[in-house]
Amino acid sequence: MGQIVDVNDLSRSFGDKVALDGVSFSATAGQVHGLVGANGAGKTTLLKHLIGLLRARSGSVRVFGRDPVRDPVGVLSRVGYLSEERELPEWMRVDELMRYTQAFHPTWDATYARELLESFALDPSRKVKELSKGMRAQAGLIAAVAHRPELLILDEPSSGLDAIVRRDILDAIVRAVADDGRTVIFSSHLLDEVERMSDHVTLMHQGRVTLSGALDEVRRQYQRSRVHFAENFVQPPVLETALLIEGGGRAWSVVHSGSPEKFRQSVLARGGEVVESRDATLEEIFMARAGRSRQQMEAA
């Protein structure tokens, strides 16, 4: 499979804030790559480097083997991009936006664009500035996919959208992959969406990649176990290989990685037993690797 994206040791600061810290990332043809991480983890900064909106100051970025800053035409003609802010020209009508975008893309598929407009029930004569948030996302999506790009980059595509528009977005991803074997990279804070839509996943935390790989392999490396103790613990018990412990008293839920036997022995040594074990969900892995408890996440 061909290498589509190759980012090597990329670092970036804005003032004294480190946005990316030695990030390496790659995607091969046909992959659907989910990028997850809390706000400010560096996802958007990474994606902006892929389309040449930001220049690599340290490290290298290659898309289709080219530098997106030096060769914007060679890269951008083959890429579809939906930004998180969905900045679109406000003064244009929807049909003008389509013609405007088409002008940049010789491969524009007008039939496909019209089909999408109709399925979204978007009025072509409406001004962009009059569109609701969901409609803007739909218009931005058409502009990103109608030239049938080899690489589709979506930054938080379903952020702030209702279930119906979210479904449209997911359908567009499925179609891009199923019909044309396209490569998709999308960032999302909705972990169930990432788990459904991606086969590869990269977790970012404070500007670094903390985890990256095929989803199934990542999943296999983490277990979640429920453990019961004879003793009542006020503080979470210290257990080997444990990454995240939740619960209280005699019953705790633990996300752990590495040797399950080592974990079991450690529980046994503290006078407890493992009641149930299964592979961890992506959400549990995320919580464990991001080093925060669920309560803290929800409060944030």
Yes or no: say if 159 and 189 are a contact pair by the CB < 8 Å rule.
yes
Smaller CB distance to another protein: residue 90 or 171?
A: 171
From the list 2-10, 129-137, 138-146, 274-282, the region that binds another protein by CB under 8 A is: 274-282
Smaller CB distance to another protein: residue 32 or 243?
A: 32
Q: Is 158 in the site for another protein (CB under 8 A)?
A: no
In angstroms, the CA 243 to CA 226 distance is 14
Question: Exactly one of 118, 216, 231, 265 binds another protein (CB under 8 A); which one?
Answer: 216
Q: Is 288 in the site for another protein (CB under 8 A)?
A: no
Instruction: Look at residues 172, 123, 117, 124 and name the one whose alpha carbon lies nearest to residue 148.
Output: 172
Question: Exactly one of 45, 83, 138, 198 binds another protein (CB under 8 A); which one?
Answer: 198
Q: Is 141 in the site for another protein (CB under 8 A)?
A: no
Half-sphere exposure of 79 (CA within 13 A, CB side): 27
Q: Is 173 in the site for another protein (CB under 8 A)?
A: yes
Question: Exactly one of 279, 291, 294, 296 binds another protein (CB under 8 A); which one?
Answer: 279
Q: What is the dihedral of CA 67, 73, 79, 85, to 10 degrees?
A: 90
Q: Is 278 in the site for another protein (CB under 8 A)?
A: yes
Q: Is 12 in the site for another protein (CB under 8 A)?
A: no
Smaller CB distance to another protein: residue 21 or 199?
A: 199
From the list 56-64, 82-90, 205-213, 281-289, the region that binds another protein by CB under 8 A is: 281-289
Which of the residues 28 through 87 are near another protein (CB under 8 A)?
30-32
Size of the site for another protein (CB under 8 A): 32
Smaller CB distance to another protein: residue 118 or 216?
A: 216
Yes or no: say if 150 and 183 are a contact pair by the CB < 8 Å rule.
yes
Burial class (CB in 10 A: 0-12, 13-18, 19+), 118: exposed
Binding mask 231-270 for another protein (x = CB under 8 A): ----------------------------------------
Q: Is 179 in the site for another protein (CB under 8 A)?
A: yes
From the list 101-109, 114-122, 170-178, 229-237, the region that binds another protein by CB under 8 A is: 170-178
Q: Is 196 in the site for another protein (CB under 8 A)?
A: yes
Positions touching another protein (CB under 8 A) are 30-32, 167, 170-171, 173-175, 177-179, 192, 195-199, 215-216, 219, 224, 228, 275-276, 278-284
